[in-house]
Amino acid sequence: MATIQGNDRDALADKEQLAAVRIAVDEVDDQIVTLIARRERLIRIAGTLKGDDAEVRAPDRVEKIIQHVRSAANKKDIDPDIVEATYRAMISGFIELELRVHHEDNG
């Protein structure tokens, strides 16, 4: 019967560890999607409450959000640039959604 030697054993352990990490990442992604769904519901409500497109775009509010999440990232010792880039992309998508909702609501 063949046995796993040295590097082969390390490679197998790395593959098993990578598989476990991927499962954990998938679980985190599921949690993130759940939170994005909650955020979307709130954005849809906000879109019906705002007076015009400028209020939807709200660049000052966007920058406050970015400052908030960068601060939160620093407190959790994670890369604030990654958090900011993620949030800017997400906010951009949500602004487009909110504009659509706002236009539908205000005819």
**Which is more confidently placed, 5 or 97?**
97
Domains of the chain plus CATH, in order, are 7-105 (1.20.59.10)
The pLDDT of residue 5 is 65
H helix and E strand count, the chain: 4, 0
Is the pLDDT reported for residue 15 higher than 70?
Answer: yes
Q: What is the pTM of this model?
A: 0.84
pLDDT range class, residue 2, cuts 50, 70, 90: low
Count of beta carbons in the 10 Å neighbourhood of residue 102? 20
Q: List, for residues 34-88, the tens digit of each pLDDT value.
A: 999 999 999 999 999 999 999 999 999 999 999 999 999 999 999 999 999 999 9
The alpha carbon of 31 is separated from its chain's Cα centroid by a whole number of angstroms, namely: 10
Contacts (Cβ under 8 Å, ≥6 apart) of 53: 99, 102
pLDDT range class, residue 105, cuts 50, 70, 90: confident
